[in-house]
Structure formats: C-alpha cells, structure tokens
Amino acid sequence: MVLALAVAQVAALALILAALYRPLGDYMARTFTTDHDLKVERGFYRVIGVDPKSEQTWQSYLRGVLAFSLVGVLIVYGLQRAQAALPYALGFPAIPPGLSFNTAISFVTNTNWQSYSPDVTMGYAVQMIGLAVQNFVSAAVGIAVAIALVRGFARRRTGTLGNFWVDLTRALLRILLPLAIVTAVVLIGTGVIQNFHGFTDVTTITGATQSIPGGPVASQEAIKLLGTNGGGFFNANSSHPFENPSALSSLFENVLMLAIPFSLPRTFGRMVGDKRQGYAILAVMATIFLVSLTALTLFEVHGAGTAPQLAGGAMEGKEQRFGVLASALFGSTSTLTSTGAVNAMHDSFTSFGGMMNMINMMLGEVAPGGVGSGLYGMLILAVIAVFISGLLVGRTPEYLGKKIGPREIKLASLYILVTPTLVLLGTALSFGIPAVRSDVEGTSIWNPGLHGLSEVLYAFTSAANNNGSAFAGLTANTPWFNTALGVAMALGRFVPIVFVLALAGSLAAQDKVPATSGTLPTHRPMFVGLLIGVSIIVTALTYFPVLALGPLAEGLH
Amino acid sequence: MSSPRNTFRSYWVAIRAMLVFTVGLGIAYPLLITGIGQTALADKADGSMVSVDGRIVGSSLIGQSFTDADGNALPQWFQSRPSAADYNAAASSGSNWGPENADLIAAITERKAAISALEGVSPDQIPPDALTASASGLDPQISPAYAYLQVPRVAKARGMSEETVHDLVTASVHGRDLGFLGEKTVDVLELNIALQAAAAQ
C-alpha cells in the first residue's frame, strides 16, 4: 500500500514534468535565441539605456550580473531598515542591521535563508517590494548565466555571449512573470490566501481567541517556488496551511519547483543543436533525483530513531494531510533544486532522512538544481567528466566540439572547490574559534549532541549552495551566523558565476573541432553513467568525513 | 575591459532596471493577483473562514486547540494534534526537535500516558499523529484513527450515543486527494462544529 502510494505520487509528478519538458524547454530556447523584442521590452530598454542588439564579452556580462545584484542587496537592505516607515508594516519595527544584511544577501543570491521568523518580523511591504521582487530577479539572473554558458558551447570564434540585460528581461517578462501569474491564481484556487487584511481576531467555538494572519501570500508563493527561491511568507514555510493547504497543492508546488530546472536541458539541447545532449543531461538529473528520493522516502517510512519508534512513526514536524510520503517528496525536491522550501521540519526528520537532505545540497544542487544554476552546475560536472575520460584514454578531451584544455579544466575545478571550501570552513570555524564556539553552543544550537553539529553543518551547506532550507531549530539570528552565512551565500553564488562566465567566454572563442572516431559521444548511456559517477564521487569524497561526525554517527548510534 | 566608466554605466543601468522591476513585480503583480483572487475566489483568498450562526469562528485551514486555559483537554471536544506553536496562528512553528532529542522523547512519553488516561485506551493503540507536533503548529487535521479513538470519551462527556458520534466522524473523514496523494484526514474544527450542531438537536 505504502509502496503503491509512493510510486503513484512520483509517477504523477513525472508525467506532468515529462509533458512540460519539450514545450517549456523549446519555448525557453526560442526566448533566448529570437531577434525579436516585444514592444514593452523595447520601451524598457530605452528607459534603462541599453541597446538590445549590442553583444557583451564575458567580462561585460559579468559586470552586469554583479552590478545588478549589488544594487539589489542595497535596496533590500534599505527597505528592511526603513520598515517602520513603510505602509503595511503590520506594526513591526525596522529590521536590525545584522539581520537586514543577512536577509538582503540571502534573497539576492536566490538562497532565501531566513534567520528571522517572518510572522513576527516582516510586514507586507518588505515581503512584496523587497523579497518577492528578488524572488523574480535572482531566478532570472540564474537563468541568464546558464544561457550565457550554453551560448559558449553553441557559438564559435566569437568574443561575446549575448547581452545580460536582454537575457534578464526576457527571463522575467516571457518566462517567470507569465508562469507566476497563472500559478498564483491556481494556488488561490487550492486555498492559498491573497489579501491585505492583516490579522483577523476571531472567537472560537470554545470561547478562546485566535488571531488569523492575512497577506499577499499566493503571489509570493508562486515565484518562491518557480524561481527555486524558497523563502516562506510564514515561518512554517510550505507546511503552513495558508501556503500549502492540501496534498494536491503540495504536488502542484513540487511541479513548480521542478518545471524550469528539468526543462532547461531541453533548452540546452536545442541551443547547441543536438537534442540528444539535452536528454543525456536530463537522464543524469532524473536518475540522481529518483535514487535520492527513494532513499529519503525509505528512511522516513522506516522511521528509525528513538522518538519515531516511540511514537510509532516519523510524524514529528510533519503535517497530517501530507503524511510521510508527501513530506519526503517535498524535502527531496526542495534540496535537490536550490529551493529550500519545506512542508515538514527537516530538523525532525530521521537521522538518515535529514542526512539525505544535506547530501542533496552537497551534490551541488544539480539534479535538477536551481533555475539556471542547476544546468550550469551540471555542465561544469560534464566538463570534468569528459576530462577524466580523456585522461583514461589519453586523448584531448572535447565536449560538444569544444576542446577542454588547461584553462577550461582549471575554471571547472575552481568552480567545484568553492562550495565545499565554504561549507567545511564555515562549520569548522563555528567550532574552532573558542569565543564563537561558546556562542554557537550556548545560543544557537537547539538539539544537543551530534544533532547540534548537524544543525551547523546543514546551515553552511544550505547557505554556500544557495538552498535556504534549514535544520530550523538553529537560532541563526546572531552576529556570527548572520555574518558568516551571509558571506557564505554571497561567495557561494558569485564566485562560481565568475568561473562559469569565464569558461563560457573561453569556449565561445574556440572554433568547433569536428567529431572523430576517437571522440567520446556525450549523448550515450555510457557518458550518462560516467557523469552520474563523477557527480557522486566528487561529493562523497569531500563530505564523507563530516557526515560521519554528524548524521551518520547519530543514525548508527 | 573594466574601465571605471563602464562600471559606472553598469550601475546606472542596474539602478534603473531594479526600480522598474520593483514597481512591476513588487507592486503591480501582487495587486493584479489580489484583484483576480478577490474577484473570482474571494472565499479562498480571504482564508477559507468558517462561520457558525453568522459569526466567524476560525479558518477551516488553521488548526485550533480545544483545551482550557491551562492546556487541559476539554472532554466534550475532539482534540487536535500537539502543537509547538500552541495553535497561535500569528506565530507558526514546529518543535524542531531531532529524533534523538531527550525533550522530544519525554514529550511523547508524557503524551502517551495522558492520552491513554483520557481516552481509556492502551498506549500502543495511539496513532503517531496524536503523539507528535506538526510542522506548522497549525495542523487543522488529525488521522481518522485518532478521531475514532476519541469517540467514546466525547460521547460520554456530551451524553450522546457513541454511534451518533462515530457517524459524525465517519462523515468528516476526507479521503486522499485524487485517491492517492497525502493521507486520510479528519478536520477537527469541522468535526467539532458538526458535533455541536448534533448535540444541540
């Protein structure tokens, strides 16, 4: 029975995503290859002073990404500091500087880590014009960077990658906004609220009182998930009945998180002129997704651990309408993309279930990953995979007709090193600096013992990989975590983007070498298997020791 | 390359772009969605509020506690799940206790004993949702098993027949969405309103 239900749920999700793959992937490819600008876009380009026909070098493209993101940080920071003066603040005061810094970086980097509890911190104004706007634009930045990398493979002997402002605008106006409008209305249909009522005080049938919140939730929920952002309107995130009212809405929310990341391989295949290359990348993503989901589901259904055994099931931190299966699915989807939304509390998952959430993020969020970031992360791994296979047979490695030479492999390797360095360094410093350690152990950690280490490890894994989910018992609104996680999020987002765009520039400048009998075909099952292997081995070797100290030790105890 | 003039120009473009996006995506978009929601789906957009005799008594989506001021179960009402937020809808939260946390183990043990005593059942008959706090702290629902478990106690407290109360629960059981998504549920507020109406007859 449980098995049948689990399979049915995944089959339904897979069918919907399969139906979207070609139309959405092709539509996105057309969006970024057409010469035609919409009338509204032409007006917008005039306002911001950009010539949409002008092409940018990788350095110029990068400058656009960084300038746009820095302006975003300053605006979101400023809005939070000025909250008390804004309308619909719900009486909440200005957000303190440390928290404002962390939150601004968090939303601009597509992370949506929340050191605060929105219910008691954020008014409607900051959520709408600060956070939800970043939910749109940070997702669009991710898509733009991925498209620039794909152009690097697709183009030959050129110094340019397209125009960042055009890619950004098209990602917003032609992809994210139309999808968000439609899906926000569907979400309201399932019961997600959309109003400006503030709190409604009611007297219950027992004579008690309850203060029921309002808010523009559906509009934010739609883009929170479509853009793989994950920052909840409420503290309970997508477990809150007003964000996710039913098992049906929960399945729909899974679709929203996965639709764009799982369709981008089609866009990639289209743009490089070989749809089979897209299917190969899709196969890698889907295989890792299914294996990871199966493992997490088994761990939660099995319900090992003292408390789950005592209660007769792993239902602590889970909603009755979702149960174990829909909670395991949502957790997997959220951590395998860069979303970080939750419909159940990951801190209360079984030891191994919680570890799967961490491993999903440690994989670099590539199966299928965040919007855009998942595709560029997987393409970096593909570059490493062809390099390794080239070493094995002693030939110069090529991918899609581009030589993977010393410069390319250096950039790909540097990309791979960034997040593990941030995760391990951040975790180590949290316990290695005596003053920090006493603060972390005394103030921040909620669950004692091994699980406390897992909370800190989870936090840095989530921040550096721009996921945003948490072992939420951790009190992160402290000077140490606001600062360290803020730095981890910023470096975890933008340093890899520098390497991706540099790689794109170097690939675009090359001519294409014709495939010969010695070229490794990158659309066949053998390459799919190789790429899966590379993805997992890179992660496993890096993180096994620290996992052994936290969730592995707890689960085996 | 990165001349100061180019860098300055990038920022000037970025500022203008961000301002336009803020107006369009931060103000126009949510207002559009609010307009559609309030026109076409007002009940849901407003929070699926539930009324008894024309007075709003809660939301069908937001759980409530049916306890006295000290947190003791009121025997004449069906009980909701334990809540880390105390069903304070203005501050949703789970317990975030890990699977080996001593506080969680103690809480489950305590709840087991309390429910066993209240309902007069053996501890191993109690379903997991009755012993654990939800993710949101506002879970409006319980499992059918936990609802049926409460029937004898509720019937006794109200002087109603167990059969009548049992039928009320059966009428309140919601199947899985589309037959295969999520779990079977009983909406506690909905059930208690039906119970109150039946008792008044």
Cβ distance A50 to B37 less than 8 Å, yes or no, reads: no
Rounded Cα gap, residues A265 and A378, in angstroms:
10
Contacts of B169 (CB under 8 A, 6+ apart): B144, B147, B148, B151, B186, B191
Cβ distance B29 to A314 less than 8 Å, yes or no, reads: no
The predicted pLDDT at position A538 comes to 87
Judged against a pLDDT cut of 70, whether residue B22 lies above it is answered with: yes
Q: Chain A contacts of B41, Cβ < 8 Å? A: 185, 188-189
- Give residue limits of the domains in chain A: 381-556
Judged against a pLDDT cut of 60, whether residue A144 lies above it is answered with: yes
Asked if the C-beta of B98 comes within 8 angstroms of chain A's C-beta atoms, the answer is yes
Q: Chain B contacts of A185, Cβ < 8 Å? A: 33, 36-37, 40-41
Amino acid at A315: M
Do A347 and A317 meet the contact criterion of CB atoms below 8 Å apart? yes
Could you give the 3-state DSSP secondary structure of residue A308?
Answer: helix
A358-370 confidence digits (pLDDT tens): 999 999 999 999 9
Interface test with A, best of B44, B66, B92, B190 (most A CBs within 10 A): B92
Q: Chain B contacts of A306, Cβ < 8 Å? A: 99-100, 105
* C-alpha angle A213-A214-A217 in degrees, rounded to nearest 5: 120
Q: Chain B contacts of A195, Cβ < 8 Å? A: 34, 37-38, 45-47
A48-84 confidence digits (pLDDT tens): 999 999 999 999 999 999 999 999 999 999 999 999 9
A85-110 confidence digits (pLDDT tens): 999 999 999 999 999 999 999 999 99
DSSP string spanning A439-505?
Answer: HIIIII--S-THHHHHHHHHHHHHHHTT-----TTS---SHHHHHHHHHHHHHHHHHHHHHHHHHHH
- Among A242, A446, A450, the residue with its CB nearest the CB of B47 is A242
Asked if the C-beta of B173 comes within 8 angstroms of chain A's C-beta atoms, the answer is no
Q: Chain A contacts of B6, Cβ < 8 Å? A: 60, 63
Asked if the C-beta of B177 comes within 8 angstroms of chain A's C-beta atoms, the answer is yes
Do A144 and A65 meet the contact criterion of CB atoms below 8 Å apart? yes
Asked if the C-beta of B187 comes within 8 angstroms of chain A's C-beta atoms, the answer is no
Category of A521 on φ-ψ map: left (φ > 0), alpha (ψ -120 to 50) or beta? beta
Amino acid at A345: M
- On the CB side of A131, CA atoms within 13 Å amount to 33
Measuring CA to CA, which residue among B121, B196, B186 is closest to residue B158? B196
Q: What is the average pLDDT score of chain A?
A: 97
* C-alpha angle A461-A464-A469 in degrees, rounded to nearest 5: 55
Distance spanning both ends of chain B, measured CA to CA: 83
Q: Chain A contacts of B141, Cβ < 8 Å? A: 319-321
Measuring CA to CA, which residue among A137, A81, A138, A71 is closest to residue A111? A138
Asked if ipTM goes beyond 0.90, one says yes
Between A and B, how many residue pairs show a Cβ–Cβ distance under 8 A? 366
A417-442 confidence digits (pLDDT tens): 999 999 999 999 999 999 999 999 99
A27-47 confidence digits (pLDDT tens): 999 999 999 999 999 999 999
B138-176 confidence digits (pLDDT tens): 999 999 999 999 999 999 999 999 999 999 999 999 999
In order of A39, A83, B33, the CA distances from B27 in angstroms are 21, 16, 10
Contacts of A111 (CB under 8 A, 6+ apart): A105, A230, A338, A340, A462, A463, A466, A467, A468, A489, A492, A493
In Å, how far is B163's CA from the nearest CA of chain A? 23
The predicted pLDDT at position A268 comes to 98
Confidence of residue A557 (pLDDT cuts 50, 70, 90): confident
Rounded Cα gap, residues A284 and A374, in angstroms:
12
The predicted pLDDT at position B4 comes to 79
Nearest CA in chain A to B66: A206
Interface test with B, best of A316, A322, A346, A446 (most B CBs within 10 A): A316
Measuring CA to CA, which residue among A133, A169, A229, A176 is closest to residue A32? A169
Do A440 and A482 meet the contact criterion of CB atoms below 8 Å apart? no
Pairing, β A398-399 against β A402-403: antiparallel
Pairing, β B173-174 against β B185-187: antiparallel
In Å, how far is B111's CA from the nearest CA of chain A? 10
Could you give the 3-state DSSP secondary structure of residue B142?
Answer: strand
Rounded Cα gap, residues A476 and B51, in angstroms:
40
Confidence of residue B2 (pLDDT cuts 50, 70, 90): low
Cβ distance A311 to B36 less than 8 Å, yes or no, reads: no
B179-190 confidence digits (pLDDT tens): 999 999 999 999
Judged against a pLDDT cut of 60, whether residue B1 lies above it is answered with: no
Rounded Cα gap, residues A16 and B18, in angstroms:
34
> Tokens 């996992």, residue?
A547
The predicted pLDDT at position A517 comes to 82
Nearest CA in chain A to B143: A320
Residue B98 tokens, joined = 């890990």
- Among B48, B100, B183, the residue with its CB nearest the CB of A451 is B100
Do B43 and B61 meet the contact criterion of CB atoms below 8 Å apart? no
In Å, how far is A336's CA from the nearest CA of chain B? 20
The predicted pLDDT at position A394 comes to 82
Q: What is the mean pLDDT of residues A249-276?
A: 98
B103-120 confidence digits (pLDDT tens): 999 999 999 999 999 999
**Distinct helix (H) and strand (E) counts, chain A:** 21, 4
Cβ distance B10 to A63 less than 8 Å, yes or no, reads: yes
The predicted pLDDT at position A395 comes to 81
In order of A128, A319, A354, B50, the CA distances from A244 in angstroms are 19, 10, 21, 18
Interface test with A, best of B39, B53, B180 (most A CBs within 10 A): B180
A289-313 confidence digits (pLDDT tens): 999 999 999 999 999 999 999 999 9
Measuring CA to CA, which residue among A399, A500, A504, A402 is closest to residue A56? A504
Residue B187 tokens, joined = 């909406």
A367-389 confidence digits (pLDDT tens): 999 999 999 999 999 999 999 99
